[in-house]
Chains A and B, each alone.
Chain A
Amino acid sequence: MSLLSFAAKQPPALPILVGLWIVVVIGLAALNPSAFSLFTVTTVLQFSTLLALVALGQTLVVLCGGAGIDLSVGGATSLSAVMAMLCVKGGLPGAFVLLACLLCGAILGLINGILVTRLRILPLIATLGTFYIYSGLALSLTGGAAQSGVPLWLVPWGRGVIHGLPLPFLTLALPAYLVAGLLLGWSSWGRWIFALGYNERSARLVGIPVDRVRLIAYALSGLLAGTAALVSLAWLGSGRPNIGDNLELTSLTGAMLGGVSIFGGRGSVAGVMAAVLLLVTFQTALLQLNINTIWQVGLIGALLIAVLLADRFSTRRR
């Protein structure tokens, strides 16, 4: 597959995103040149990491179609972080923190998958239920207190920076996106995801194991939430029970801005990464210009609507 045809397959939102990003960067350069430093880049990437990981999970779930959505990603992140720390407090050797986070996340995601594929509960409702349970458990098990006890060797990785690039972003987020991109574009599993997102009935008729693919997608979303939990532990130095607050909505915003169709079957992880970076760059630009933070919320909402309107009126729907 040539680069050109690869580029042509990307959803129309991508040029909009790149264009917007260029505008934001130029605007910032014009109004506050001192903002341009390696520090800013590092900051943007640091604050993009959690969102990027969680948005990737959301993307996988949404791509599978069937009104797929995961409202519990934030709760899963919080609960995984808390559970890992509670395990450490309970005697788990620090070396297993990584495993604990990932395992916990994967299990929480698997529960979602079972609710959706085996019990046939609508994803919006199923993940709403698990959102309440996961975020509630994170708070009630800890009483709201941040859990300390993060193994000391983890923190330098969480806060480390090489040539301006934060280590968690470099070693976790970026590879995750690359792997996901490769899988989606070049493996049969990836083709199955797009197929069943595009037209579920045909996919079933052709013999694609629709339920199994969806189950795996939800499990992966949980796994990615677990990695986000790991990053939060390493970066912040403690397990926060409210670390996942709002992540469900912002990850969905990121995925939508990134050109993923809410009906599934269309979208690319490159677009999602671009959208996440745009969002955080935009926030950073507004902060550097000392504009009241409430404008971030409003402008990003307006941006989402605007981009979707532009996308809607410039594509021929099937």
Chain B
Amino acid sequence: MLKMARSILAGGAVLALATASASAQDAHNSVAFVPQIVGIPYFNAMQEGGNKAGAALGVKFIYSGPTDTNPVDQLQIVQNLINQGVGAVAVSVLDASSLAPVVQAAKAKGVKLFTSDSDAPKSGRAVYVAQATDEGLGYTIVDELVKRVGDDAKIGIVSGEATASNLNAWIGFMQQRAKEKYPKLKLLAPQFAGGTAERAAQIASDMMTANPDLKAVIAVASTTCPGVGQAIETAGKVGKVIGTGYCSPNTARSYIKSGSFGFSVLWDPSALGYLTVWAGKQLIDGKPFAASNTVPGMDHPVSYDDKTGVLLLGEPAVFTKDNVDKFNF
């Protein structure tokens, strides 16, 4: 019985492992991207862009990420990619000190380690491919809200994980913008909902109850978007409270149409994925970045700041009722 069980398991294990593998040569001419978590529309769009770029630029694109926002899981994936000898590895880091243990290993193996979507500025990464500046993202959402609710309103913030450094950076800039430009604006302290829609909805609805004069709620993590939108609808506050956040058009669409979301701020993650792969190829080929770069397949030049090592995709985009249908991600 035991022997049969063992051979069944053995056969099963071999079958499960029977998929394509990378040989040593392929490995070097590949660019990998490690998102913060797999299975959410935002990173799926980045994957799509990466695939397109891989095909267009003649590199192999590898997309692999953790199934939950666990820093050790992400680290394991990055380490294994480095071991494989992948040419360039881009990481959307869960927090700014995430990469520290693998930086040396990457250098030793000649793997170009860089960040995309979320940065680790002091880690010695080769470049940071940014969707927009953290400052731009924080400022835009506050500016757009003030246009709609006035500069003396009370605004709530629902974020995802308290440990996500990129989300915290955006919140920091929101608070900075409010302090400097709109001193009468009341930005509440951020509350953290973790990764589920039900927690986000619970926190958003409690927030609205605690502050009946609340004029807006910002959903910072894309996983909190459906929760916040739903909470506004269920509380019957459509029109009285404006929801917004860094949400993908597909997720935000029904809420924008119903009016619970006023707008959504994002950028094109597919373009970000595309740019990431291009940047990786540049690093593999040893080509430096110019102050302004023309990327084959992209319709506008991309700027690079040598001092901070940031390759900037462009300005944040604002999705409203008028243009949300034009996008599919």
Q: In their complex, do chains A and B touch, with some C-beta pair under 8 Å? A: yes
Binding site for B on A (CB under 8 A): 12, 15-16, 19-20, 23-24, 26-28, 30-32, 34-35, 37, 39-40, 43, 46-47, 50, 139, 143-146, 148, 158-159, 235-238, 240-243, 245-246, 283-297, 299, 303, 306, 309-310, 313-314
Q: A16-B2, A146-B95, A240-B163 are in contact. Are A34 and B27 (CB under 8 A)?
A: yes
What are the 10 A-B residue pairs with the smallest beta carbon separation, nearest first? A144-B162, A32-B21, A310-B5, A287-B80, A27-B17, A144-B163, A23-B10, A39-B83, A237-B100, A314-B2
Q: A287-B77, A287-B80 are in contact. Are A50 and B67 (CB under 8 A)?
A: no
Inside 8 A of A294's CB, which chain B residues have their CB? 38-39, 67
CA distance A310 to B17 in the complex (A): 22
- B196 beta carbon closer than 8 Å to chain A: no
Q: A40-B83, A47-B76 are in contact. Are A287 and B97 (CB under 8 A)?
A: no
CA distance A28 to B83 in the complex (A): 14
Inside 8 A of B1's CB, which chain A residues have their CB? 310, 313-314
The tally of residues in B whose CB lies under 8 Å from a CB in A reads 55
Contact A285 B17 (CB under 8 A): yes
Q: Could you give 14 example pairs across A and B, Cβ below 8 Å?
A: A26-B14, A27-B13, A37-B83, A144-B164, A146-B165, A235-B101, A236-B75, A242-B163, A288-B80, A288-B83, A290-B19, A290-B20, A310-B1, A314-B1
Q: A37-B83, A148-B97, A296-B67 are in contact. Are A283 and B76 (CB under 8 A)?
A: yes
Inside 8 A of B39's CB, which chain A residues have their CB? 294
Contact B9 A20 (CB under 8 A): yes
Chain B proximity of A234: nearest CB distance (Å)? 10
Contact A245 B68 (CB under 8 A): yes
Binding site for A on B (CB under 8 A): 1-2, 5-6, 9-10, 13-14, 16-24, 27, 38-39, 62, 64-73, 75-77, 79-81, 83-85, 95-97, 100-101, 104-105, 109, 161-165, 168, 192
What residue of chain B has the Cβ atom nearest to residue A242's Cβ? Answer: B163
| CB < 8 Å neighbour of B104 from A159, A245, A299, A314 | A159
| CB < 8 Å neighbour of B72 from A47, A286, A289 | A47
What residue of chain A has the Cβ atom nearest to residue B13's Cβ? Answer: A23
Chain B CB count within 10 A is highest, among A15, A242, A292, for A242
Contact A293 B72 (CB under 8 A): no
CA distance A243 to B95 in the complex (A): 12
Q: A40-B83, A146-B97, A293-B65 are in contact. Are A31 and B2 (CB under 8 A)?
A: no
Inside 8 A of A16's CB, which chain B residues have their CB? 2, 5-6, 9
CA distance A292 to B161 in the complex (A): 23
Using a Cβ cutoff of 8 Å, how many contacts connect chains A and B? 161
CA distance A287 to B22 in the complex (A): 11
Contact B21 A12 (CB under 8 A): no
Contact B19 A289 (CB under 8 A): yes
Contact B97 A237 (CB under 8 A): yes
CA distance A230 to B208 in the complex (A): 42
Inside 8 A of A139's CB, which chain B residues have their CB? 162-163, 192
Chain B proximity of A298: nearest CB distance (Å)? 10
CA distance A164 to B101 in the complex (A): 16
Q: A146-B97, A287-B76, A294-B38 are in contact. Are A23 and B83 (CB under 8 A)?
A: no
Chain A CB count within 10 A is highest, among B9, B27, B69, for B9
Q: A246-B70, A296-B67 are in contact. Are A31 and B18 (CB under 8 A)?
A: yes
What residue of chain A has the Cβ atom nearest to residue B1's Cβ? Answer: A314
Contact B83 A237 (CB under 8 A): no
| CB < 8 Å neighbour of A145 from B73, B77, B100, B168 | B168
Contact A242 B70 (CB under 8 A): yes
Q: With A46-B79, A288-B84, A290-B19 given, can you name 17 additional A-B contacts, CB distance below 8 Å?
A: A30-B14, A31-B17, A31-B18, A34-B84, A39-B83, A43-B80, A47-B76, A144-B162, A145-B168, A146-B97, A158-B101, A237-B101, A238-B100, A242-B161, A295-B16, A297-B67, A314-B1
Inside 8 A of B79's CB, which chain A residues have their CB? 43, 46-47
Chain B proximity of A247: nearest CB distance (Å)? 9
CA distance A19 to B14 in the complex (A): 13
What residue of chain B has the Cβ atom nearest to residue A143's Cβ? Answer: B162
Chain B CB count within 10 A is highest, among A23, A24, A238, A241, for A23
What residue of chain B has the Cβ atom nearest to residue A307's Cβ? Answer: B9
| CB < 8 Å neighbour of B80 from A143, A241, A284 | A284
Contact B17 A28 (CB under 8 A): yes
Contact A19 B84 (CB under 8 A): no
Contact B68 A144 (CB under 8 A): no
What residue of chain A has the Cβ atom nearest to residue B81's Cβ? Answer: A287
What residue of chain A has the Cβ atom nearest to residue B14's Cβ? Answer: A27
CA distance A297 to B109 in the complex (A): 29
Chain B proximity of A26: nearest CB distance (Å)? 8
CA distance A294 to B80 in the complex (A): 16
What residue of chain A has the Cβ atom nearest to residue B11's Cβ? Answer: A23
What residue of chain A has the Cβ atom nearest to residue B161's Cβ? Answer: A144
Inside 8 A of B5's CB, which chain A residues have their CB? 16, 306, 309-310, 313-314
